[in-house]
Structure 1
Amino acid sequence: MKKFLPEDFKVTSKITLKDSQTKLVIDDADDELKKLRKKLGKLQDTMYAHGKYAVLVCLQGMDTSGKDSLIREVFKGFNSRGVVVHSFKVPTELELNHDYLWRHYIALPARGKFGIFNRTHYENVLVTRVHPGYILGEDIPTVNSMEDIDDAFWNARFEQINNFEKHIAQNGTIIFKFFLNLSKKEQKHRLLRRLEKQEKNWKFSPDDLKERILWDAYQDCYEDAINRTSKPHAPWYTIPADDKDSARYLVAKIMYDTLKKYDDIQEPELDDDIKANLELYKKQLESE
Structure 2
Amino acid sequence: MKDLKPETFEVKSEITLSNLETTLYADQNEKELEKKLKKVRKKLGKLQDTLYAHDSYSVLICLQGMDTSGKDSLIREVFKDFNVRGVEVTSFKVPTELELSHDYLWRHYIALPQRGKFGVHNRTHYENVLVTRVHPEYILNENLPGVTSVQDIDDQFWDARFEQIKNFEKHLAQNGTIIYKFFLHLSKEEQKNRLLRRLDKQEKNWKFSAGDLKERKLWDEYQDYYQDAINRTSTEKAPWYIIPADNKPAARLAVATILLETLKMYSDIQEPELDEKTKENISEYKAQLENE
TM-score by length of 1: 0.99
* CA deviations over 1:261-281 (Å, ceiling 9, x no partner): 000000001011111111111
Matching of residue 201 in structure 1 with residue 218 in structure 2: no
Match of 1:107 in 2: 111
Match of 1:282 in 2: 286
Match of 1:25 in 2: 25
Q: Residue 141 of structure 1: which of 135, 142, 145 is its match?
A: 145
* CA deviations over 1:9-45 (Å, ceiling 9, x no partner): 0000000000011001263221110001110000000
Shift of residue 145, structure 1, vs aligned partner: 1.2
Matching of residue 228 in structure 1 with residue 232 in structure 2: yes
Match of 1:9 in 2: 9
- Distance between the aligned counterparts of 1:13 and 1:142, measured in 2? 35
* CA deviations over 1:185-214 (Å, ceiling 9, x no partner): 000000000000000000000000000000
Secondary structure of 1:275's aligned partner: helix
Residue 9 of structure 1 aligns with an amino acid whose one-letter code is F
- Distance between the aligned counterparts of 1:11 and 1:167, measured in 2? 21
- Distance between the aligned counterparts of 1:229 and 1:114, measured in 2? 21
- Distance between the aligned counterparts of 1:272 and 1:258, measured in 2? 32
Residue 239 of structure 2 aligns with an amino acid whose one-letter code is P
Q: Which moved more, 1:47-56 or 1:22-31?
A: 22-31
- Distance between the aligned counterparts of 1:222 and 1:33, measured in 2? 28
Residue 22 of structure 1 aligns with an amino acid whose one-letter code is T
Residue 14 of structure 1 aligns with an amino acid whose one-letter code is E
Residue 17 of structure 1 aligns with an amino acid whose one-letter code is L
Shift of residue 4, structure 1, vs aligned partner: 1.5
Where do 1:182-197 residues align within 5 Å? 182-197=186-201
Shift of residue 126, structure 1, vs aligned partner: 0.4
Aligned Cα root-mean-square deviation (Å)? 0.7
- Distance between the aligned counterparts of 2:3 and 2:22, measured in 1? 19
Q: Residue 57 of structure 1: which of 54, 61, 79 is its match?
A: 61
- Distance between the aligned counterparts of 1:167 and 1:19, measured in 2? 33
Match of 2:48 in 1: 44
- Distance between the aligned counterparts of 2:281 and 2:107, measured in 1? 47
- Distance between the aligned counterparts of 2:251 and 2:135, measured in 1? 29
Secondary structure of 2:183's aligned partner: strand
* CA deviations over 1:96-146 (Å, ceiling 9, x no partner): 000000000000000100000000000000000000000000001121111
Shift of residue 3, structure 1, vs aligned partner: 3.3
Q: Residue 247 of structure 2: which of 238, 243, 246 is its match?
A: 243
- Distance between the aligned counterparts of 1:157 and 1:235, measured in 2? 18
- Distance between the aligned counterparts of 1:78 and 1:4, measured in 2? 22
Secondary structure of 2:181's aligned partner: strand
Matching of residue 89 in structure 1 with residue 90 in structure 2: no
Match of 1:120 in 2: 124
Match of 1:217 in 2: 221
Matching of residue 76 in structure 1 with residue 80 in structure 2: yes
Unaligned runs of 5+ residues in structure 2 are none
Residue 25 of structure 2 aligns with an amino acid whose one-letter code is V
Shift of residue 260, structure 1, vs aligned partner: 0.2
Residue 243 of structure 1 aligns with an amino acid whose one-letter code is N
Unaligned runs of 5+ residues in structure 1 are none
